[in-house]
Amino acid sequence: MSLAPHFFEFLHQRIGLDAESVGPAMIERAVRQRQVQAQAPSLEAYWGLLGESAQEQQALIEAVIVPETWFMRYPESFAALGRLARTRWSELGGARPLRLLSLPCSTGEEPYSMAMALFEAGLPASAFVIHGVDVSPNSLVKARRALYGRNSFRGDYKAIQGRHFNAEADGYLLQPRIVAQVRLQPGNVLDPSLLAGEAPYDFVFCRNLLIYFDVPTQRQVVAALKTLTRDDGVVFIGPAEGSLLTSSGMRPLGIPQAFAFVRAPGPAPVPAPVIAPPPLPTPASQSFKNATPRAVAAGLSPRTTPVPPTPSAPIAEPATLLAQIATLANAGQSAEARAACERYLRDHPPEAQVFYWLGLLSDAGGNSLEAQGFYRKALYLAPQHAEALAHLAALLAAQGDLDGARRLQARAARALKEPKA
């Protein structure tokens, strides 16, 4: 029995979740899991329980939400935050503390990373306050505990562990001075009364959230973010979300890999419909960690002949080089990741996933034309590469090619439903 559409509509109304963005099958698994745990004899009985129990409503939301975050994710964003905050603090002359917001804050890695970045930029504790807001009370419980395991540390993390954490038997406990800078509270970005009475923020982090929403909800959330941010404030978003802000009267600051936006001067342009890419089982916009290479189509050859390596430069195994690309990309080392991609294409047959990574790196760097070329190369080799389809659709939509974007988006949705080889 297929899941009735009112379950999808419930999640859309409550948290803005677009079922196609995560795949209906994932939502169906969560619903059936909650049906079993709630001991409801049927989906109809579970729907009745859901309508009567606020506790069960929250339990279903928790089952659907899968936090994917780690400390210092996209390091350039935090480096930029440190520089910008130090300048802003100097301009204020100590008149008031800087105000920062992490929305959603998940299990705390992001707002605590913001605090680390500001301390490392030389700001005193009195110079800033950070608010972390999330729709998941369970995530906030973990954030308040501030005890983290290995999945919260990726890339070159030993230095921040040594400076800001104390090793415990069951993980790494964040030092009290970092925890003290962050105030955590539940909240829903779709709630018009969210943070009512709070002054607008100097810096807002809202990363990799918009890609979970349909177009009307995206516009609603972007409008809320602009309301929460000072006129001279900065909004940090995820790598795949830039077009959603530029179509709403904001512009990138131009800091490579920071994904930082400010209000554009002059009147805001009329928003163009934007089709955002759906997050995938392992979203490349969030993590390269578990990305796996896709099979190269038989009989295809690169446009240029690979340059044979010199005897003194041993060729790395494809799997080793792909893992190196993933590590570099996760650590935010864009130039090094690009060089590793180019090395792969020089020494090995063309690989769709490598072209996709090059597209993502170009996309994040603001070179949309170059990104389109790389995404198309990935699709030439692997026509059902869902991630490349989704990101290329977003670029076409931002340029006004809505028909082309919708076709690619439909292909991406179909690709997600197909069993992986």
pLDDT in tens, the chain (421 residues): 467 789 999 999 999 888 877 778 888 888 999 999 999 999 999 999 999 999 999 999 988 886 778 999 889 999 999 999 999 999 999 899 999 999 999 999 999 999 999 999 999 999 999 999 999 999 999 999 999 998 899 888 899 999 999 999 999 999 999 999 999 999 999 999 999 999 999 999 999 888 788 888 888 999 999 999 999 999 999 877 777 788 888 999 988 888 899 998 754 444 434 444 444 333 333 333 333 333 222 222 233 333 344 444 567 788 888 888 878 876 778 889 889 988 888 788 778 888 888 888 888 877 877 888 788 778 867 878 888 888 888 888 777 777 677 777 777 777 766 655 4
Nearest to 226 by CA among 195, 201, 257: 201
Spatial distance between the Cα atoms of 382 and 341, rounded to a whole number of angstroms = 17
The pLDDT value given to residue 53: 94
Parts of the chain belonging to CATH 1.25.40.10: 318-417
Spatial distance between the Cα atoms of 267 and 220, rounded to a whole number of angstroms = 19
Superfamily name and number for 318-417: Tetratricopeptide repeat domain (1.25.40.10)
Q: Are 236 and 258 in contact (CB under 8 A)?
A: yes
Tell me how far apart the terminal alpha carbons of the chain are, to the nearest angstrom: 26
In 237-359, at which residue ranges do the beta strands (DSSP E only) sit? 250-252, 260-263
User: What letter does residue 328 receive in the DSSP assignment?
Assistant: H
Pick the CATH number of 75-263 from 3.40.50.150, 3.40.50.300, 3.40.640.10, 3.30.450.40: 3.40.50.150
Alpha helices per DSSP H over 247-398: 318-330, 334-347, 352-364, 368-381, 386-398
Spatial distance between the Cα atoms of 97 and 175, rounded to a whole number of angstroms = 21
Parts of the chain belonging to CATH 3.40.50.150: 75-263
Nearest to 138 by CA among 106, 168, 161: 106
Spatial distance between the Cα atoms of 281 and 416, rounded to a whole number of angstroms = 9
The pLDDT value given to residue 327: 81
